[in-house]
Amino acid sequence: MNSRNVLFLGIPVLFLGGYAFLNRKPPETSEIEYRYATVAKGELMRSISATGQVVALTTVDVKSKAGGKVVKLAVDEGAVVHKGDLIATIDPADTQSIVDQASADLQSANARADQAEKNLELQIAQGRNDVEDARTALEAAKVRYRRAGIQSKRQPGLTKATIAQAQAAYDASVAEMERMQRVTIPQMRRDSQGNLSQATAQRDTAVSELKRQEELLDKGYVSGAAVDRARAAAEVAKTSYETAKQRASTLEDEVKANLEAQRRAVARARAALDETQINIADDDISRTNVAEAARNIRTAEVALQRAKDNLMQTEIRRTEVLAARASTVRNKVSLKNAQVQLDSTTVLAPRDGVVTQKYLEEGTIIPPGTSTFSQGTSLVQISDVTQLFVECAVDEAEVANVKIGQPVRITADAFRGQPMDGVVTRVNPAAKTENNVTAVKVRVKVLPGGKVRIVPGMNATCEFITLSKKDVLIVPSQALQDDGTVQLKGPDPKKPISKKVEVGETGNDSIEIKDGLKVGDEVVTAKIDLALLRDTQKKMQEAEQGGGLAGGGPMGGKKTPNRNAKKPGGK
């Protein structure tokens, strides 16, 4: 059996062995060993990680639009340059001849275009004005037609609704008049009479009470205060009586005024109803307006077609002018491009920065100009390294935990164990999918003060901190049981004690303990059955040697030795 067959056989044996290890009951002679961890105070941290590359604040490729031999390259990698500094000089001889040719072609094209345009200028202007006037008239006629159609469709319903509304208002006024006569006015009279009777009774009662209190005062049975209260009550009752009496005397005048007001309201509602019925004639007017607007559209269409026919007579000459002007434009662009290329034979730094890459050397011959397929030849790359960033891709499932301003710990692959501080400055608004993995690009600013010097292009890992609690009691995550307890080391290390604890936040690989443990306690992090482990390893070795999962040969018989199998522990 070769090494590949041993590997394929070992995988299922390892799986079955692990299953048996987790599910079988340990024998009475099992050797149990515990792994302990010491409870201590420290920083509880929860974070997510992503990898990326170090980039500069900005990076720009300095390109040459001119072609020819690079006669001077004034900078080298690592050089500090300022805006306007010389980068390179390119031989201008070939570019100058292109400028002269383009200038002559432009002069010839301008002469031809001027001659063609003067012959046509007046004719085109008149024809264009006629077409625009006819088109404007047609659009106006269409607008009037649409407006008349809308009004014609809406008018019958509007008239009907207006009549119905006026009829309802009239019926409501009449009903209100009847309700006032039958209910409201009789009730007002009953209420007024009742109030007057009640006020009269209260006045008489208060006067009698006052007289009785005065008699009792004369006999010395009550105090003067009681008489004063009775006198005040009598005055109040008299005032209420006078008010009720006055209300009863003016009630009929109020009734008459209300009836008269309601009669006028009924009259107004009737007049409005009559007026709406007269407006039925508006329906016929709106239909007439639609027909007239349709005729105006046909007239405007005929006028527009006539103006277009007249303008067609000038289109032949117009195309000649357009062709001449197009030739002029082409020649202008050619001259401008040639002049730009000539000016570009001296290449200057477009901004301050550091030369981070040099693409060619002096003496190199580069192709000329820019085109659809070429954006010029790159000479050097200038980067602003005053501020560095790490651009990394965060998985879509974890990007919700990344926020602008969030602290980040950055570790460069070149300086492992020496983290730097950073902060999230940008989270891209759109995700990208590559190799069936969807991620969001995040930009992390490297904060100053680090002890290591990183440069653009380095690989780095960003740890986005979502929780940080310092100086708290923590234990490894595997120490906490499902029932909220931990196994605490007792007098006998092989017999740990179960203890209930109160937990707080959960970190990457540890848990905060709020109550139940103290610094220095030792808790179980792993329980190993050594006998079971040895038994499983023995079966795996037998399987690798050809014994099979049950310990027998390929057909269940005697074990067949495998000369090619590797010995346990061998290479």
pLDDT for 559? 41
pLDDT at residue 13, rounded to an integer:
38
Q: Judge if 20 and 116 occupy the same domain.
A: no
- What DSSP state is assigned to residue 65? S
Tell me whether residue 431 is in a domain.
Answer: no
**How far, in Å, CA of 235 to CA of 322, rounded?**
107
How much of the chain is helix, strand and coil, in % rounded to 5? 50, 25, 20
- In a 13 Å sphere around the CA of 319, the CA atoms on its Cβ side amount to 5
CB atoms within 10 A of CB 275: 12
- What distance in Å separates the CA atoms of residue 258 and residue 54, rounded to the nearest whole number? 89
Q: Quick one: which H or E segment has residue 226?
A: helix 224-278
User: What residues form DSSP beta bridges with 50?
Assistant: 462
Q: Domain check: are 185 and 283 in the same one?
A: yes
Name 444's Cβ contacts closer than 8 Å, sequence gap at least 6.
Answer: 52, 389, 390, 391, 392, 408, 410, 422, 423, 424, 425, 462
Q: What is the CATH number of the domain that holds 194?
A: 1.10.287
Phi and psi dihedrals of 484, rounded to 5? 80, 20
Q: Are residues 132 and 221 in the same domain?
A: yes
Are 107 and 10 in a shared domain?
no
Number of domains in the chain: 2
Q: Contact 390/446 with Cβ under 8 angstroms?
A: yes
pLDDT at site 550: 45
Nearest to 96 by CA among 331, 368, 373: 368
Domain membership of residue 525 (yes or no) is: no
Q: Is residue 175 part of a domain?
A: yes
Q: Is residue 405 part of a domain?
A: no
d(CA 107, CA 100): 11
Assess whether 30 and 103 both reside in one domain.
no
Position 54 in a domain: no
- Six-digit token string for 127: 């024809």
Among the three residues 277, 293, 309, which one is the final residue of a domain in this structure?
Answer: 293
119: tokens are: 């012959």
Going by their DSSP bridges, the two strands 459-476 and 68-73 should be labelled as unpaired
Say if 566 falls within a structural domain. yes
Nearest to 387 by CA among 468, 454, 445, 345: 445
Torsion of CA 413, 414, 419, 420, to 10 degrees: -100
Per-residue pLDDT of the chain (571 residues; tens, 9 = 90+): 433 333 333 434 334 444 444 444 444 445 788 888 999 999 888 888 899 999 998 889 898 877 888 888 888 888 889 999 998 988 887 777 778 888 888 888 888 878 877 777 777 777 778 888 888 888 888 888 887 777 677 667 777 777 778 888 888 888 888 888 888 888 888 888 888 888 888 888 888 888 888 888 888 888 888 888 888 888 888 898 888 888 788 878 888 888 888 888 888 888 887 777 666 666 667 777 778 878 888 888 888 888 777 777 776 777 777 888 788 888 888 888 777 777 778 889 998 888 988 888 888 888 876 554 557 788 898 998 889 999 999 999 999 989 999 999 999 988 888 889 999 999 999 999 988 999 999 999 999 887 788 888 899 999 998 888 889 999 998 889 888 899 898 888 888 989 999 999 988 889 999 998 989 899 998 888 888 888 888 888 888 876 544 444 444 434 444 434 333 333 3
| Other Cβ atoms within 10 Å of 62 Cβ, number | 22
The residues pairing with 377 across neighbouring beta strands, listed in sequence order, are 64
> Under a CB-based contact definition with an 8 Å cutoff, are residues 438 and 37 in contact?
no
Residue type, 14: L
Decide which of 259, 293, 327 is a domain's last residue. 293
Residues 154 and 273 in one domain: yes
Distance CA 549, CA 561 (A): 15
Residues 103 and 209 in one domain: yes
Please provide the DSSP assignment of 350-391 as one string. SSSEEEEEE---TT-EE--S--SS---EEEEEEEEEEEEEEE
Whose structure tokens read 């007269």? 278
Task: Specify the pLDDT at position 433.
Answer: 92
Do both 118 and 266 map to the same domain?
A: yes
Contacts 24+ apart (CB under 8 A), 326-332: 327/109, 327/112, 327/113, 328/106, 328/109, 328/110, 328/113, 330/109, 331/102, 331/105, 331/106, 331/108, 331/109, 332/106
Buried b / exposed e over 137-175, threshold 16 CB at 10 Å, is bbeebeebbeebbebbeebeeebeebbeebeebbeebee
In a domain, 443, yes or no: no
Q: Are residues 126 and 14 in the same domain?
A: no
Do 151 and 284 fall within a single domain? yes
Alpha-carbon span 52 to 528, nearest angstrom: 39
Q: Is residue 182 part of a domain?
A: yes
Name 218's Cβ contacts closer than 8 Å, sequence gap at least 6: none
**Co-location of 1 and 130 in the same domain:** no
CA-closest candidate to residue 46, choices 516, 356, 401: 401
Note the pLDDT tens digit of each residue in 82-123: 999 998 988 887 777 778 888 888 888 888 878 877 777 777
Q: Does residue 112 sit in the same domain as residue 26?
A: no
Question: Among the three residues 240, 274, 293, which one is the final residue of a domain in this structure?
Answer: 293
Token pair for residue 44? 């509880």
Other residues' Cβ atoms within 10 Å of the Cβ of residue 178:
10
Cα 232 to chain centroid distance, Å, stands at: 75
Distances (CA, A) of 391 to 326, 394, 424, 429: 47, 10, 10, 14
Note down the domain range covering 276. 97-293
Q: Residues 251, 254, 256, 262: what is their CA dihedral angle, to the nearest 10 degrees?
A: -140
Q: How far is CA 483 from CA 189, 488, 500, 501, 553, in A?
A: 83, 14, 8, 10, 46
Q: Which of 484, 486, 466 is nearest to 475 (CA)?
A: 486
Are 44 and 512 spatial neighbours (Cβ–Cβ below 8 Å)?
Answer: yes
- For residues 310-333, b (16+ Cβ closer than 10 Å) or e, as one string? ebeebeebbebbeebbebbeebee
